[in-house]
Amino acid sequence: MSTIALGLIAAFCWGFHDICVRFLSQKTPISACIITVLTTGLLFHLGLMTFTAGFVPLPANVIWMSLGAGVFFVLATFGLYLAFERGPVRLVAPLIAGYPILSVALAVASGIPISALQWIAVTAIVLGVAAVAALSDTSADDAPPKGRTIFYALASAGGFAGTFALGQHAAELGGEMPTTLVTRILAVGLTITILLAFKLPFWPGRNALPLLIAMGVADGIALLSVLSAGSKPDPQYAAVTSSMFGLLTILLAWLFLKEKMSLPQWVGCIIAFCGVGYLSL
């Protein structure tokens, strides 16, 4: 499977994850959502590894890279939830959607050549996703001061870029299944530590649990898909196409929830998919 296809699988899974958040964010504590989703993702991954006999020893350097990816993943997750909690979407979404630029820049820094047309395609995807997400926010409600919101959004973008860079390199050296397991164990352990330190709630409530479990499985598939690209050519493009989850969230809302999409949003979709089409050539 190509890196583009793996990234699109991740985008659909995270798009489903995000649309579910709409039903939970107003009545379920964010901390409980995060720990339930991450724990479910870990259990799902353990089940996959048991079924595929994927338990193999890892060299120390690969373990350290996988642990680093776990730290970045927690940063990305908390940053995303906190930024969207504060809003507005038109500010937060474009900032988080910019993480593919960081992913490609890190690939260039590691010696991978990126042509001018590939840069244009990546930029088209980022701008298309950002435009669709930003235009979806029509609220006129007062938002909290923007400084902290921008910080959370940029932290999330950097967290995603760091997760994919370290996680893909670890997967290339040690295999995606065992390295992703280390990343997920660290993410769950660090999240539990944060929740205990700040005395945040763990239990989301029985009504929210089924949807959160579905979100955790989707998150497990998404992260594994992006990190699996580490053993394939141009793994950075899996991170790029996975960033379309925000756009796909809005398309899913249009398809299933009958939410309206404006002409400029459709133009943004076309621009983003044209970028994906060029990268897949």
In the chain, what is the greatest distance between 2 CA atoms, to the nearest angstrom? 53
- Kindly state the average pLDDT of the residues 27-53: 92
- Kindly state the average pLDDT of the residues 162-166: 94
Percent of the chain with pLDDT over 70: 97
Q: What is the pLDDT of residues 84-117, one digit of tens each?
A: 777 777 778 788 888 888 999 988 988 888 999 9
Per the CB < 8 A criterion, the answer to whether 32 and 203 are in contact is yes
Q: What is the pLDDT of residues 212-250, one digit of tens each?
A: 999 999 999 999 999 999 888 888 999 999 988 878 878
Instruction: Tell me the Cα Rg of the chain.
Output: 18
Whether 253 has a pLDDT exceeding 90, the answer reads no
38/185 Cα distance (integer angstroms) = 9
pLDDT of the residue at 143: 64
End-to-end CA distance of the chain: 14
Name the token pair of 244.
């379309």
pTM: 0.90
Q: Is 269 exposed, middle or buried (0-12, 13-18, 19+ CB in 10 A)?
A: buried
Residue 138: which residues within 8 A CB-CB, separation 6 or more?
A: none
159/76 Cα distance (integer angstroms) = 4
pLDDT of the residue at 231: 82
Q: How confident is the model at residue 46 (pLDDT cuts 50, 70, 90)?
A: very high
Residue 248: which residues within 8 A CB-CB, separation 6 or more?
A: 11, 12, 14, 15
- Kindly state the average pLDDT of the residues 252-277: 87
Which amino acid appears at position 251 of this protein? L
Q: Is 64 exposed, middle or buried (0-12, 13-18, 19+ CB in 10 A)?
A: middle
245/19 Cα distance (integer angstroms) = 10
Choice between 279 and 86, residue whose per-residue pLDDT is larger = 279
Which amino acid appears at position 49 of this protein? M
Question: Coil, strand, or helix at residue 14?
Answer: helix
279/237 Cα distance (integer angstroms) = 8
- Kindly state the average pLDDT of the residues 16-44: 87
